[in-house]
Structure 1
């Protein structure tokens, strides 16, 4: 955690700390980046560099090594770090450094002033682009399993993004590389153009555009200092015109046919008393997790078939990187086909009504099957959130198959969030041989959290069933449905 590397920094700097605080910190741009030949090259690359204008400038700062070390140590000891996690990233981050206490953190304050003055003036002259006085700057810290998924930085009037790196002796095996992406004719990211490892006192700089796709790969290991940087944006009056991308819409089906659900789900789910208990629990919490939900012989057959099935990686990487199985394709046969048929059946619809107590008018459902392995994820876009609102509320079922249970922090969790709220509404962890049930309100949106290195080598397979058209029964007590709830463990 943050305390661990603060202690390390204190040990490294205790002997000179008092003397250091009395010294002035001066930052300047290295002279090799101010001569006319570099400026001419920079302006040329700004017009034509592929896949978008970007530069990795080593030894960018002309600064005393002691000052650079002091800046690093102040960052490590900074008290304002906050944990940040959502569909796109997991890391520690500071508030904007314009709020930093210059008495307690004089070197950070001096660096912030350098960004707003000398650095901004250098970039404006070098690029030939007038920059606004506004400069955003925050500290970022990536530790074990932290990452930042592909994104373009296209927000408001950002023109140039910058990242200064301060961690020394950073090896490629530690992860944390910045990936720069090629993109297609729709400006969607495709393959990795370059994977950059950043030495101390290097600057990554790029022009923000609809093509400026980049990511930070997962940091690996705990036997090294964290990946520390100061990053932010310079702004212009140029308006941002983000490309509107279509949402992912899955085909809907009307429930039909009668099947024998007892061949699929465990017998204990069909007792009348238990159904009433489940309905009561679901209506109290809007969610539940039922362990050992399948017939053992059926679960084994499905798992064997899933292990040998054809899985196709789905992108683009700014929206998802996850392997899916085509439930409507020719390869859907055997026990998997029986399961899909059961989920789409009228019998399943009747089961849903009895378990939830909901009434359904003209019900429809969607099904998708995906495989959780290291490095997979989904990301929510504004267009996806809008589509969820249009779709209306749903009852979501998640069915999990696998050979071994993963560590709790391995990822693959289905996270339900509300727009513009950082705290999740619900966390639904992948629990093998279990069935999770969630009532999703129309303004609540799910995503699959990035699966990290802690995941087992054996994948977890997930079937998602969403049922639409339900009317939630009235409740006696008022509940706002919010909070950092976790799916209830139910031993049924």
Structure 2
């Protein structure tokens, strides 16, 4: 059925008037002003500059409470707009997990007038104010909203990047905010949120003309060796994996996926004895940093000889016999390949992250085979973090996520430029696990 055209009234002279355009509300932008107590007076300026001139733990910073003049209740309007923001994006990688908005530069003044005004004020008034105090010419700002929900966090990191000069965080937390459970103060990290109250803020950077050359951190040095001794594996490993039938079956699975998981990998009594030995040897571990790269407890190699069951397992893992077994299980030629072995205790707060230096090292290492043996009891909570996550250089999508599993071995073949990180273990974890990681480097790959 055809739809009828709307009837339009005619003027007395027979002419037809133009349809009236819909009325639009004008956009009201309230300019956001600084609190009057933060002025360019000489005393305030001198006090402000003292922070830059002295060592100020943990780094030069200022806390400016009630920096925005809230006589018009603009702060509540800003908070309401951010709470009702319609396009929060989930951001998650080795360094952080949170919800984030786009840069406020992209916001529509008609849709988000208060947030638009906030950025304009910081870009104009606050930028000039900061220039006047510090004498540093500033060019532009980044500005976006962040929301950390339960179990979200931001790990310590290095932000000396490009033209960044001053970071800022404008908190929109309530009066009942609790430092102990709501992420703590932002000393260049946001601790894990362990309450159900979201942590809301606006944050960003003031930029200057100075351009920084990023210093690449050193890659953790794990000693490498070439396996040279034979060991009897039947005293350590599940005999099922030593049979020809199992080797052929496992190799077919590995050929399709370049990774596999071997359940019940160690003999039950070996697994139990190693776990009990490590669980009662806390002093044998040391925390390895720096915090902007990792926080993980590693077994001191000098202590292995004092741990009978651990020593027996590590000797088997360093043997030529295991080289032969892993070659049979995967079809990868490991003869002559250099290896490394590290033993870690993975518990609440454990993590390691990746950087450009790790990508460079991975490319230099060539094709690698990783063997991760998980020692621990109980089913791991999927929300607890603690997974090993494989990614490729310059890619955001993960290639593989290895979840801890009681007495299992994850075997992964990776190409140059592929790396893995340990996702932060959060408060959903109720027990630790121990991780033996054996890596074979620069293995021979024959194109079929």
TM-score (ref. length: structure 2):
0.89
Deviation at 1:251, TM superposition (A): 1.0
Helix, strand or coil at the partner of 1:178 = coil
Contact 1:327 1:340 in 2 (8 A): no
Q: Deviations over 1:286-331 (max 9, x none)?
A: 1111222211111111111111122111111111111110235454
Contact 1:358 1:473 in 2 (8 A): no
Matches within 5 A, 1:220-299: 220-222=194-196, 224=197, 226-299=198-271
Deviation at 1:246, TM superposition (A): 2.1
Deviation at 1:271, TM superposition (A): 2.3
What does residue 452 of structure 1 align with?
Answer: 426
Stretch moving more, 241-250 or 117-126: 241-250
CA distance in 1, matches of 2:210, 2:181: 37
CA distance in 2, matches of 1:173, 1:315: 23
Contact 2:323 2:335 in 1 (8 A): no
Of the three residues 276, 299, 302, the one matched with 1:325 is 299
Stretches of 4+ aligned residues off by more than 6 angstroms: none
Contact 2:327 2:334 in 1 (8 A): yes
Find out whether 1:406 has 2:380 as its counterpart.
yes
Q: Deviations over 1:2-41 (max 9, x none)?
A: xxxxxxxxxxxxxxxxxx9976433111111114121221
What does residue 82 of structure 1 align with?
Answer: 89
Find out whether 1:315 has 2:294 as its counterpart.
no
CA distance in 1, matches of 2:226, 2:72: 68
- Tell me the matched-pair count: 419
What does residue 424 of structure 1 align with?
Answer: 398
Q: Deviations over 1:113-172 (max 9, x none)?
A: 11111111111112111111x211111111111111111311101111111111213122
CA distance in 2, matches of 1:234, 1:420: 26
CA distance in 1, matches of 2:260, 2:189: 35
Deviation at 1:427, TM superposition (A): 0.8
CA distance in 2, matches of 1:237, 1:99: 23
Find out whether 1:466 has 2:439 as its counterpart.
yes
CA distance in 2, matches of 1:330, 1:362: 25
What does residue 189 of structure 1 align with?
Answer: none
CA distance in 2, matches of 1:408, 1:65: 46
Of the three residues 138, 147, 167, the one matched with 2:153 is 147
Q: Which runs of 5 or more residues in structure 2 are unaligned?
A: 1-24
Deviation at 1:230, TM superposition (A): 0.9
Q: Which runs of 5 or more residues in structure 1 are unaligned?
A: 1-19, 181-213, 476-492
CA distance in 1, matches of 2:89, 2:221: 35
Contact 1:157 1:236 in 2 (8 A): yes
Q: Deviations over 1:161-189 (max 9, x none)?
A: 11111121312232311353xxxxxxxxx
Deviation at 1:92, TM superposition (A): 0.9
What does residue 482 of structure 1 align with?
Answer: none
Contact 2:151 2:194 in 1 (8 A): yes
CA distance in 2, matches of 1:432, 1:397: 15
CA distance in 1, matches of 2:186, 2:90: 23
Matches within 5 A, 1:45-444: 45-51=51-57, 52-64=59-71, 66-132=73-139, 134-169=140-175, 170-180=177-187, 214-222=188-196, 224=197, 226-309=198-281, 310-329=284-303, 331-444=305-418
Helix, strand or coil at the partner of 2:162 = coil
Deviation at 1:402, TM superposition (A): 1.1
More strand by share: 1
Deviation at 1:384, TM superposition (A): 2.2
